[in-house]
A and B are shown apart, each in its own frame.
Chain A
Amino acid sequence: MTRYFFKRLLSGIFTIWITTIAVTLLIHLVPGDPVQIMYAQSQSTTPEQLEQIRRNLGLDRPIYEQYIMYMGRILQGDFGTTIRGNQPVLDLLLVRLPNTLLLTTASLVVTIVVGVTAGFFAAYKRDTWIDSTLMTAAILGISVPSFWLGLMLMYIFSMQLGWLPVSGTSLRNLILPAITLGLANAASVSRLTRSSMIDVLTQDYMRTARAKGLKEGTVLSRHALRNGLVNVVNMLGLQFTYMMGGAIVVENVFAWNGIGRLAIQSIFQRDYPTIQGFILIFATVVVVVSMVLDLLYVWIDPRITYK
């Protein structure tokens, strides 16, 4: 187990390292002169100033030197400064990151609660109207784009009913974006839970549990749910990655001050250092979360041993 943990840690670090290379190349993969693009909106910048900036960013040197410089700075915690405002990128990202993590975690809770419950009942009441209603809702949930769902929820609950604020970053504001992001993923989780549970419910050990005279609730919660969740937890890692991606859209719809909103703003402003920092932080979060979920997976299913 410890060995597996270190192997997983190494591969995580490797993934992040690959990301740093991609991030360095990013600037050069975009057509046009990066410095001119970055400062295209500031008409007053003189060609001399542009040269100065180019030198400051190290863009006048060969790519491998740029990469070594970039890595050197990253390892010291220096992610550069924003083009507009000259703020340290890392500080900006770290201030906003908790908001994004709060949103994705809340969404994950919505996903698990709604998705697992719906999938479980659909499986238990298989081939009844409950099953078909839930699964039809799931297909709708998968099909509806999250920005549309977000706007609809906002229209109904904020504008028509006036129950919840339209946008902003506070706990009351968390509800709508978390539901928006969570429901979309709940739909696919419910379908997976259903098929996984249908498999579990027909297993021999379910019959053994009933043969012991256990109450139906015990049979379902102790024997069915945990086995059914093995597959679901395995999928949650991927779901979380999608959710981080989805957060970018949802944060913008609800003006939630997370790193996703910052990323979109930076992209519009061609603020390369911020975009680079965002990608790096984003990749790190995804790597860490999927690692944690992998370990959870081992805990849930003792048959899995990693060597």
Chain B
Amino acid sequence: MPPLLSVENLSTHFVTKAATVKAVNQVSFQVNPGETVGIVGESGSGKSITMLSVMGLVPSPPGQIVSGQVYFEGQDLLKLPLEQLRQIRGNQMAMIFQDPLSSLNPVLRIGKQLVEAIRRHTNLSSADAKAHAIHLLQRVHIPNAAQRINAYPHQFSGGMRQRVMIAMGLACNPKLLIADEPTTALDVTIQAQIVELIKELRADLGMAVVWITHDLSLLAGLADRILVMYAGQIVEQAPLLDLYANPRHPYTLGLLQSIPRLDAAQQTRLRPIAGLPPNLANYPQGCPFAPRCQYAIDRCTTEDPTLEAISPEHQVACWVKPERP
């Protein structure tokens, strides 16, 4: 089966007079139809910019996609005329964002914001589009959808707003839903509800999901495959269980060790990763993680490792590839 989305050697830089920030560097990955891929990494690791590049939503200037291809169903989105890309956006490929309050237009009723997404990609009349919008709100479990459709975003709670965002993303039954930290701004209990909702919708609609998060534990039970990003690069990618059981990049290991565990002995301390990520305006030579890495050898400071397969589905960019201690 050909992949739904195939990103090849994507590099996105932010060019200002003062500096060039290399936000995404030579990133390649694939998403298969119906598959859920988690992208994990800390703030500034390039995970959101990677997916915004796929959507063609990187603010430009200063953002620039300097190289690479983004194939969606075999079409290179980066070569597509803007108008054709717009017909795919919000239609076959949708994106929901981190902060649902600021992501919704405060002065328009949510019904209007849903209907415009529907009508842009269908020939529905405004009455039919409204009926579809109510149906979408019901699908994301918003009570009294027929009345709530006339409300403004500020009249909703945080969780309900994110449900509205999801409904908007689903407006045209996309084949790919990109979720950019959709639960970060929400309470933990609401977080769980949103995760459950997306799992339910994914099963019903058979869409692929790319879930961006900084929380590796959130992806358990959600993702099929995980990409770990650091300093604008993919440093490890593997199926979920493989990654949890056998992390081979020191950064992935560090992330796993900094998650609290219920089965750990009491008094066990979490082990944070020492140091800070590199300044992407002044990209270091060698492996970008080397300065923080306890396994680093001489080669790490001079040569940047590329992704290397250690099994058909598991790739790591590391010269050392240490086993979990």
Chain A residues in the interface with B (C-beta under 8 A): 202-205, 207-215, 218, 222-223, 226-227, 230, 300-303
CA distance A108 to B104 in the complex (A): 32
Contact A203 B102, beta carbon cutoff 8 Å = yes
Would you list the 3 A-B pairs with minimal beta carbon distance, nearest first?
Answer: A213-B90, A212-B90, A213-B89
> Quick one: which of B94, B97, B117, B154 contacts A204, CB cutoff 8 A?
B97
Which residues of chain B are near A226, meaning CB under 8 Å? 107-108
Q: Assess whether B304 is interfacial by the CB under 8 Å rule.
A: no
A212 to B104, CA, bound (A): 12
Q: A211-B55, A213-B89, A303-B154 are in contact. Are A205 and B105 (CB under 8 A)?
A: yes
Q: Mark B residues whose CB is within 8 Å of A.
A: 55, 57, 59, 83, 86-91, 94-95, 97, 99, 102-108, 116-117, 120-121, 152, 154, 165, 168, 171
Decide: A213 near B88, CB < 8 A? Known: A204-B97, A218-B116, A303-B152: yes
In the complex, the answer to whether A212 meets B116 with C-beta atoms within 8 Å is: yes
Q: Are B105 and A208 in contact (CB under 8 A)?
A: yes
A207: chain B residues within 8 A (beta carbon): 57, 97, 103
Provide the residues of chain B in CB contact with A223, threshold 8 Å.
105, 108
The reply to whether B87 and A213 contact each other, CB–CB distance below 8 Å, is yes
Instruction: Please classify the interface of chain A as helix (H, G, I), strand (E, B), loop, or mixed, using the class held by over half of its residues.
Output: helix
B94 closest partner in A (C-beta): A211
Cβ–Cβ contact A214 & B116, under 8 A: yes
- B107 and A300 form a contact (CB under 8 A): yes
**Given A204-B97, A303-B152, A212–B107 Cβ distance below 8 Å?**
no
A-B contact sample (4 more), CB < 8 A, given A202-B59, A210-B57, A213-B86: A207-B57, A212-B89, A223-B105, A303-B154
Query: Do residues B95 and A204 form an inter-chain contact, with CB atoms below 8 A?
Result: no
Report which residue of A218, A226, A230, A302 has the largest number of chain B beta carbons within 10 angstroms of its beta carbon: A302
A213-B91 contact in complex given A204-B97, A207-B57, A207-B97, C-beta closer than 8 Å: yes
Distance of A202 Cα from B99 Cα, bound (Å): 14
How many angstroms from the CA of A214 to the CA of B90 in the assembled complex?
8
Partner of B120, one of A202, A205, A214: A214
Closest to A224 in B: B105
**Chain A residues in 8 Å Cβ range of B120:** 212-214
| Interfacial chain B residues near A214, Cβ < 8 Å | 86, 90, 116-117, 120
A208 to B180, CA, bound (A): 12
Q: Are B121 and A209 in contact (CB under 8 A)?
A: no
Question: In the complex, A208 Cα to B102 Cα: how many Å?
Answer: 9
Given A204-B99, A211-B57, A212-B116, A227 and B90 contact (CB-CB distance below 8 Å): no
Residues of A within 8 A of B59 (CB): 202
